[in-house]
Chain A
Amino acid sequence: MTELQAGEGAQAVGIARPRARPRRNRDVLIALIAFIVLAALPMIFSSKLLLDFVIRCAAYGLFATSLNLLVGYTGLISFGHGMFFGLGAYGFGLMMQKTGVPVPVAFVATLAITFVVAAVIGAICVRLKEIYFAFVTLAFQMLIHSTILSWVSLTGGDQGLRGGIPRPPFLGIDLSNHHHLYIAACALLVLGLLLMRQIAQSPFGYTLRMIRDNATRASFVGIDVWRAKLTIFVLAALFASTGGIIMALFVSGAYPEFAYWTISGEGIFINMLGGVTTFLGPMVGTVLLLILNDTVTRLTEYHGIVLGIVILFFAIGLRKGLMDFVVEWAAQRRGKAEERAP
């Protein structure tokens, strides 16, 4: 490291600390505004399509952004993240169907189950690197998927959880009312994103980036790499599980497809589409994919070809996600403008 670079580093660290609080306040403010805008949408547009769209965005957005905590921030390419999406949907659905506990209790209990399962699976997986990690996560996903298929008496097998998910009203919130469900999904989305943003911007988040860039160096600095990886694996699982809960509420059921590898594949695809270098990349990817999916399936049954071409365009043409591209483009413009400025 040259003296100049070292100096820059010291400066960056020096600035980062005092800036942390205002940045957090800014995030909270943005989250609040986002929530107010989302909550006001149904008053402006009466379209139910829009409500359904935002609810699905919330489910997939939380799932994809949590996957990015692993892929983009920690360098853990998980091919099995969908298992937690499925676990959330099944855990919540079963809890509501079998026990009849209030919705918040089922919500917390589902997260607790996810926590335990993710800790066990994570403890095994995060010891591995790169392709081995990817494949072991995929293997666990298939294990969970097969369990759902074969445990017919509990899960209903390949027919899924039948008979609808009961949702008794709590604290004046009635999730069987579509508008209430919409507001709840928006709140979970905004809160989830805000929490994930705080994780990403915290010193722990920077530890993750360090592990991604050079795990050996992180280890030499004194970081317990295994513990850090396990922590983020479990945290990401909790957010994915929340996404699954929203999806279960939306379709009023849970189906084995929620825990199938294709869901994980969609998560990876969303990340590719939106970009992994910015926090909101996966959220943008989610919106893009869902718009693309909804419009293309409306127009043609050959949607596979269209989506394939889009993937090719992003993978070979742009070679990065949309948000990566936008950020770079903005930076370039800024650079040019600064050059031109007197």
Chain B
Amino acid sequence: MKRTRTTGVSRRSTLALMGAGAATIAMPWVARAQAKTIKIGMPTILSGRVAQLGTSSRNAVMLEVEKVNAAGGLAGRQIEMVIRDSKGQPQEAARISRELVNTDGCELLIDAEASSGAFAVHEVARDLGVFCIHTNSETSSLTADPKQHIPNAFRTARQGVHDSIVGGSYAAGIAKAKGLKKWATCSPDYAYGRDTTGEFTLYLKRFAPDVEIISDSWPKLFQPDYTEVVTKILQAKPQALYSCLWGGDLTSYIDQANIYALFTQMEVFAVNMADYTALTVVKNLPKGIHSGNRYIKTYPGTPENAAWGDAYKAKYNEYPTNWSWENATAIMLIAEASKKANSADGKKIAEVLRGLTIKCPFGADGTVTMRGEDQTLIGYAIGWGTTIPQEPYVPEVKAGDWKTILELEAEWKKSKGYT
């Protein structure tokens, strides 16, 4: 009696479990059978402290996808985005990417991961051979290092080394004009902060050899209190300060440094200031902070760029971010390449994409190019200017010279042993 009952229950539950399992496994095949649409998978970060990276990337992608779909889609196939949260964990980014391709039937990937997550997705692209565009990772080695190179992966994000060259030459110009010799740096203590600061000072000293770094501070990422850092800088009495703090860290830093009137005592160069995520959040934005452009609708000062920024604002009730333009560019490039190839096939799109130049609101001269040799974006708008406390925040931006950028980048690649 006892045995019969126990076995009965377990058999029933086993059957139920098996049924549920079979249904789960069969589902993707049902979904794939209906496909006339083309699915694009997008792993990104939608939760946690940098959720804005994911949400503003997603917004930009959706804005562009709607346009592409309205114009007939990719070679006649409507785009369906499948966007998932990796929580900023590389192993989750890898798992989700595999799932998107293997189970959800995504034929293209947009990797909107940051830092290590992008490298994890890159390995999935290498393994599965799926077409992939990295849209948020600015780490130069992702495309510059030939060991990383795979024919199916591209990047539409800006590149760290480009920023450093433009920043270094701009800052050197100001340093020479104003006689700024004593410099301090203050950047977040992780690879991006260390590398970017190192490269910036390298180019600053190259263009202005008598510059001297007299103090460096490395606050932790997401550090809430910067008092110690601010007082350290003030005690060192530098004439200029460089920082690549970003997002919430930069705004907290500025709010706290304002109390000590730091910005009246030195020239400040904050590469990530001219992004709406920072500009609109700082309580009292000091006048005259030098910043590289991230995304700002007044630079490039074209009607196309302004219209794009306004359309985004109208739809989402907030301004786009640096991540937004990088992701929007990815969709624009895919759409154009697909049109030229007359196909939505990843391999054919990749072939056309190498070396492709398209019209783009974020281009320095109205166009951007996917460079063929290392499959990364060049020709995007990049420049520096100074802030004012109200819109347009950075009224005049001095454009970086792409000829110089490319020359110095080639030199940098050589010095790293990449070419």
Q: Do the two chains bind?
A: yes
Q: Which residues of A contact B (CB under 8 A)?
A: 45, 47-50, 52, 56, 149, 152, 157-160, 162-164, 176, 178, 247, 250-253, 255-258, 294, 297-298, 301-304, 330, 333-334, 337-338, 340-341
CB neighbours (8 Å) of B123 from chain A are: 164, 251-253
B61 CB → nearest A CB, Å: 15
A159 touches B115 (CB 8 A): yes
Q: Mark B164-189, 1 if CB is under 8 A from A, else 0.
A: 00000000000000000000000000
B190 touches A157 (CB 8 A): yes
B25 touches A45 (CB 8 A): yes
- Measured CB to CB, the nearest residue on chain A to B2 is A337
B126 touches A164 (CB 8 A): yes
Given A159-B119, A159-B139, verify A47-B95 contact (CB < 8 Å).
no
A253 touches B90 (CB 8 A): yes
A182 CB → nearest B CB, Å: 13
A303 touches B5 (CB 8 A): no
CB neighbours (8 Å) of A330 from chain B are: 6
B18 CB → nearest A CB, Å: 11
A256 touches B85 (CB 8 A): no
* CB < 8 Å neighbour of B148 from A162, A333, A334: A162
Given A301-B46, A341-B2, verify A149-B28 contact (CB < 8 Å).
no
CB neighbours (8 Å) of B194 from chain A are: 152, 157
Q: Mark B187-224, 1 if CB is under 8 A from A, else 0.
A: 00011101000000000000000000000000000000
A257 touches B98 (CB 8 A): no
In the assembled complex, B141 has its CB within 8 A of some CB on chain A: yes
Interface SS of chain B: helix
CB neighbours (8 Å) of B84 from chain A are: 297-298
Contacts A160-B116, A176-B127, A337-B6 given; 16 further ones with Cβ under 8 A? A48-B103, A52-B98, A152-B191, A152-B194, A159-B141, A160-B90, A162-B147, A164-B123, A252-B123, A255-B91, A255-B119, A256-B116, A257-B91, A297-B87, A334-B6, A340-B1
In the assembled complex, B304 has its CB within 8 A of some CB on chain A: no
Nearest first, the 3 closest Cβ-Cβ pairs linking A and B are A48-B102, A337-B2, A255-B90
In the assembled complex, B265 has its CB within 8 A of some CB on chain A: no
- Measured CB to CB, the nearest residue on chain A to B118 is A159
CB neighbours (8 Å) of B94 from chain A are: 250-253
* CB < 8 Å neighbour of B119 from A152, A160, A301, A303: A160
CB neighbours (8 Å) of B6 from chain A are: 330, 333-334, 337
B85 touches A303 (CB 8 A): yes
Interface SS of chain A: helix
CB neighbours (8 Å) of A157 from chain B are: 190-191, 194
CB neighbours (8 Å) of A304 from chain B are: 47
B125 CB → nearest A CB, Å: 11
- Measured CB to CB, the nearest residue on chain B to A295 is B24
B157 CB → nearest A CB, Å: 14
The interface size bin for chain B is: 35 or more
* CB < 8 Å neighbour of A303 from B25, B47, B145, B148: B47
CB neighbours (8 Å) of A302 from chain B are: 47
* 22 pairs, A vs B, C-beta closer than 8 Å: A48-B98, A48-B102, A49-B99, A49-B103, A52-B95, A52-B99, A149-B190, A159-B119, A163-B148, A178-B127, A251-B91, A253-B120, A255-B91, A255-B116, A257-B90, A257-B116, A294-B95, A297-B84, A297-B85, A298-B84, A301-B46, A301-B85
CB neighbours (8 Å) of B5 from chain A are: 333, 337
In the assembled complex, B280 has its CB within 8 A of some CB on chain A: no
In the assembled complex, B96 has its CB within 8 A of some CB on chain A: yes
CB neighbours (8 Å) of A160 from chain B are: 90, 116, 119-120
Q: Bound complex: CA of A301 vs CA of B25, how far in Å?
A: 23
In the assembled complex, B89 has its CB within 8 A of some CB on chain A: yes
A50 CB → nearest B CB, Å: 6
A306 CB → nearest B CB, Å: 12
CB neighbours (8 Å) of A334 from chain B are: 2, 6
A49 touches B85 (CB 8 A): no
- Measured CB to CB, the nearest residue on chain A to B192 is A158
A297 touches B90 (CB 8 A): no
* CB < 8 Å neighbour of A247 from B91, B119, B192: B91
B193 CB → nearest A CB, Å: 10
* CB < 8 Å neighbour of A301 from B47, B91, B115, B139: B47
Q: Bound complex: CA of A337 vs CA of B9, how far in Å?
A: 14
Q: Mark B228-272, 1 if CB is under 8 A from A, else 0.
A: 000000000000000000000000000000000000000000000
Q: Bound complex: CA of A127 vs CA of B120, how far in Å?
A: 39
CB neighbours (8 Å) of B119 from chain A are: 159-160, 162, 253, 255
Q: Bound complex: CA of A66 vs CA of B126, how far in Å?
A: 32
B97 CB → nearest A CB, Å: 10
Query: Max chain A CB contacts within 10 Å: which of B116, B141, B148?
Result: B116
CB neighbours (8 Å) of A256 from chain B are: 116
B116 touches A158 (CB 8 A): yes
- Measured CB to CB, the nearest residue on chain A to B102 is A48
A258 touches B190 (CB 8 A): no
B91 touches A338 (CB 8 A): no
Given A52-B98, A252-B127, A253-B120, verify A47-B28 contact (CB < 8 Å).
yes
- Measured CB to CB, the nearest residue on chain B to A298 is B84
Given A253-B123, A255-B90, verify A47-B25 contact (CB < 8 Å).
yes
B1 touches A56 (CB 8 A): no
Query: Max chain A CB contacts within 10 Å: which of B123, B147, B192?
Result: B123
CB neighbours (8 Å) of A247 from chain B are: 91
Q: Bound complex: CA of A68 vs CA of B111, how far in Å?
A: 36
CB neighbours (8 Å) of A253 from chain B are: 90, 94, 119-120, 123
CB neighbours (8 Å) of A176 from chain B are: 127
B1 touches A341 (CB 8 A): yes
B26 CB → nearest A CB, Å: 9
B237 CB → nearest A CB, Å: 29
B105 CB → nearest A CB, Å: 11
B71 CB → nearest A CB, Å: 29
CB neighbours (8 Å) of B192 from chain A are: 158
Residues of B314-369 contacting chain A, CB below 8 A: none
Query: Max chain A CB contacts within 10 Å: which of B95, B139, B145, B190?
Result: B95
A338 touches B2 (CB 8 A): yes
CB neighbours (8 Å) of A333 from chain B are: 5-6
B362 CB → nearest A CB, Å: 26
B44 CB → nearest A CB, Å: 10
B43 CB → nearest A CB, Å: 10
Given A158-B115, A257-B116, A301-B47, verify A49-B25 contact (CB < 8 Å).
yes
* CB < 8 Å neighbour of B120 from A50, A255, A294, A301: A255
Residues of B78-129 contacting chain A, CB below 8 A: 84-85, 87, 89-92, 94-96, 98-99, 102-103, 115-116, 119-120, 123, 126-127
B84 CB → nearest A CB, Å: 6
CB neighbours (8 Å) of A52 from chain B are: 95, 98-99, 102
